[in-house]
Structure 1
């Protein structure tokens, strides 16, 4: 007897198999959810940066404008969310009127956009908080036990989507760090420097995102991949990368190749880890190859000028230069923030993007907070650091001659 194995039942979630952004997948899931819970008018996702105790908006889908674009706050300062984190349980508020008069900016924005109830589910990976999923409605008292069970399932699905995204990023970053270790590359511009400049990059990207069409997801991607800007330096000989003095013209030509080598390394890594179709390939490559281009066209490797330099590279350049100025190096002591800001103003006339510099300097308090959290190890001095302690202050012109870029 013949067995009929045909199945006409459609895969309702097949859209998730496509190469879409997380934001596009959240929008699709919102449509699915609306078929079962038509009172859900918004789904929002935040991701958690545990090292800085920072929550950042990441993706959303709503029936109107995004109430929280480019928003971030400290988890400990968001008392209700912090309680969710401590208890490990979802939070249901069936009438957001109880929060009227709340001082937190995100509470004010949610209320201002007409949302009247909320269900919040924490996301975890290996028992570590990775963020939150928010289900908002314009109606009060609309969440019932049956709908909560369904939304719990959707929240777990979203959590898995975010975990896949984060795992790809962590896999790539881990591979690049491993490559650096195997090459015996021990440039002190790792560790705390990378943590700071990544968060400086996010500060800039957050403030200019609307002007350059960057959504929350792309802002976060710049934060993720900014630390890969100098990966090409693993190909530079140690006698150049560690040289505690000015490079010769010949050595500087070798140093300059770290930009093009960086893009090739990233492309190879992405291919070897089956990530070569990732939508982030171009962004990471641009950061690695073009972060030493200057707005007047005098940079390298291609002499790009102004807006021809990808915005992600312009952002990372400002973050990297500022941290270089305010960090102790073999050829100079650390500059104060005010000295570094004054230098950024000068560099904005020929080297750095003036808009990126301007928005960065509006965040002086946040810059100080990042510096406080991610301080350099003072008790483990490398030979370069020891030499720096005995060196005298140098002029800005000398800095750009001595800095091994």
Structure 2
């Protein structure tokens, strides 16, 4: 049973082994899901057993809106529903989904590290009073799951720290502001959330894109300063040099991470795809690989839209900010040629939130002082 502890396996492989062993002991279990909390108080699935079904969402927005989950976060104590059928008169939509999957009882256990709440373990069973009778066992079960999750969490945290150090070192030459990077991350998150609701991606993917979208231009640190800082229209030769920054960024990050042992290849792929392909066009006329349509990785398609939105809305030495109406028209006109139509639909459904992000992370325009 304890082969799941083997750290050479991925988190999903270890959880699969663990869950299989537990379900052999308790066949009434019909689904197990492990979720993590993002920086915006939302839960997203990092693991779902094969029998969990599609009725349970992969993303739960703002757990503060759930009394059950809010109480759990505050107390760090498990929450048990002995009989889902008793809740039908006032049942929430999510409970109806569980009932449709033959779930009769449910247990939610907090996942936390060093006293900090980081997620929830959900376990469902097809008989009533299942967890109350075995609360000690499943509390221990949740602790073991917590060890696996926190190990993965700490590994990711170390990886993120290295990545952000790379960003900090590279950004000192980039004329764009830190708040530009924050806004691009927030716009990327808006797009990702919309796509997750449309089941085009999951919450784990959205969180990765949110954390790594600000790395898209790290290759600019290797561009000569006379080109990087220029406010003139580029010559063909200068443009060719500037267009090398996606590949240069991938080389920079790959070289730095060569000696860092990190087994989450999915995250590595996401960050490298963002860096390499955020200047591709949906019609195949972008660079560096001239990828077309859905051949462009989804994470790159998302960041492309987010980056363009912020560039248009921001002040630059060579232009004034566009109005939100002009940006909206540009995005609509570019849908299907410059941009992924789904990503454009996503941002058009979130236009009211763009102004809030701009106000939260404003650029500070340095004015020339009189001599």
Cα distance in 2 between the residues matched to 1:174 and 1:377: 25
Cα distance in 2 between the residues matched to 1:203 and 1:370: 17
1:47–1:277 Cα change, 3 Å: closer
Of 143, 146, 152, the residue aligned with 1:165 is 152
Cα distance in 2 between the residues matched to 1:176 and 1:232: 13
Cα distance in 1 between the residues matched to 2:35 and 2:355: 21
Matched, 1:96 2:81: no
Cα distance in 2 between the residues matched to 1:168 and 1:323: 32
CA contact (8 A) 2:76 2:117 kept: no
Of 56, 63, 71, the residue aligned with 1:68 is 56
Cα distance in 2 between the residues matched to 1:249 and 1:101: 69
| SS of corresponding position for 1:292 | coil
1:65–1:301 Cα change, 3 Å: same
Q: How does 1:2-151 map to 2 (within 5 A)?
A: 12-17=1-6, 21-50=10-39, 52-63=40-51, 65-102=53-90, 104-144=92-132, 147-151=134-138
Cα distance in 1 between the residues matched to 2:329 and 2:252: 35
Deviations along 1:31-84, one digit per CA (max 9) or x if unpaired, are 11113333221111221123x222223321153523224323111111210111
| SS of corresponding position for 1:350 | coil
| SS of corresponding position for 1:58 | strand
Q: How does 1:320-339 map to 2 (within 5 A)?
A: 320-339=307-326
1:219–1:53 Cα change, 3 Å: closer
1:285 deviates by: 1.4
Q: How does 1:302-317 map to 2 (within 5 A)?
A: 302-317=289-304
| SS of corresponding position for 2:32 | strand
Counterpart residue number, 2:361: 376
Matched, 1:356 2:322: no
Which ranges of structure 1 fall in alignment gaps of 5 or more residues?
1-11, 388-405
1:346 deviates by: 1.3
CA contact (8 A) 1:67 1:109 kept: yes
Cα RMSD of the aligned pairs, angstroms, is 3.0
CA contact (8 A) 1:199 1:370 kept: no
1:256–1:157 Cα change, 3 Å: farther
1:19–1:283 Cα change, 3 Å: farther
Of 268, 278, 287, the residue aligned with 1:291 is 278
Deviations along 1:307-343, one digit per CA (max 9) or x if unpaired, are 3322322222122222333344444444454432221
Cα distance in 1 between the residues matched to 2:149 and 2:310: 30
TM-score w.r.t. length of structure 2: 0.85
CA contact (8 A) 1:116 1:138 kept: yes
CA contact (8 A) 2:41 2:62 kept: yes
Deviations along 1:251-295, one digit per CA (max 9) or x if unpaired, are 433322220012112322332211277343333211110110112
Deviations along 1:8-30, one digit per CA (max 9) or x if unpaired, are xxxx2324537655444333322
Cα distance in 2 between the residues matched to 1:157 and 1:304: 44
Cα distance in 2 between the residues matched to 1:369 and 1:127: 35
| SS of corresponding position for 2:265 | coil
1:162 deviates by: 2.5
Cα distance in 2 between the residues matched to 1:102 and 1:262: 53
CA contact (8 A) 2:328 2:348 kept: yes
Counterpart residue number, 1:343: 330
1:139–1:207 Cα change, 3 Å: same
Cα distance in 1 between the residues matched to 2:21 and 2:82: 22
Which ranges of structure 2 fall in alignment gaps of 5 or more residues?
none
CA contact (8 A) 1:48 1:54 kept: yes
| SS of corresponding position for 2:14 | helix
1:240 deviates by: 4.0
| SS of corresponding position for 1:174 | helix
Moved more, 101-110 or 294-303: 101-110
| SS of corresponding position for 1:159 | helix
